[in-house]
Amino acid sequence: MKIEGKNAVGEAIRSNKTIDRLLVQKGLKDTASNKIIDEAKSRGIKIFFREKEALDRESTQNRHQGFIAEITDFKYSELSDVLALADSKGEKPFVLLLDGVEDPHNLGSILRVAECAGAHGVVIPRHRSVSVNETVIKVSAGAAAHVLVAKVTNINDAIDDLKKAGVWVYAADMDGESIYKTDVSGAVAFVIGGEGQGVKRLTKEKCDAVVSIPMFGKVNSLNASVAAGVVTFEKLRQDANKK
């Protein structure tokens, strides 16, 4: 798998990802580039300095910023790992479940939201969902290296497991109660629907409740990653107010 760009490559190095090969554009002198190169050298990573044209040919996104790293395939976690992480921190579990998100840009942005918010993990289904690929890693701006991503056979089974662990599960959907009138503090998981049909009916029925984001324009829905950001930081606001 290739990852590109200063942020993504730098985070991969700092998180001790196994990097098989690091391509760096010749002649980079800026501080950020020198820091990444020094960190790579300190970890014994093989660096190959190449002309910009060589990196352009290797690039799949045309936005390499002078850095392309080849890493081993992304390592997924189990849902139990996500719950164990929360327990090890002495925190109540906070999880995002993605029901059919297929756009890599959305997944990358959601991973970035999850990392910034301190969520313990993101859960995706094995089928009919985007996996963590080069685009996801790039869009996440390095967050993919720090967020546990659990890939499960069935989202509904994952909801059952979370409930057994004492986690209250909310579906984010337009026909729910306003999230600003709902207590979403504490041990919580949000189900975010995919592009198009949103949260599936059976999945919604599995949830403890449905919350919505009030809309005031002519368009009645938000992009999945934007919706994830809104509900996530509303939860953090409510948690902070209860301290």
pLDDT at 84 over 80: yes
Higher-pLDDT residue of 167, 137: 167
pLDDT one-digit tens code per residue, 20-50: 889 999 999 999 999 999 999 998 888 999 9
pLDDT at 197 over 90: no
pLDDT at 178 over 80: yes
User: How far is residue 60's CA from residue 212's CA, in Å, rounded to a whole number?
Assistant: 37
Say what the pLDDT of residue 220 is. Answer: 75
**The residue to which tokens 């919706």 are assigned:** 227
Cβ atoms of 190 and 159 closer than 8 Å: no
Say what the pLDDT of residue 41 is. Answer: 93
Cβ atoms of 139 and 122 closer than 8 Å: no
Of the candidates 68, 72, 79, 81, which has an alpha carbon nearest to the alpha carbon of residue 36?
Answer: 68
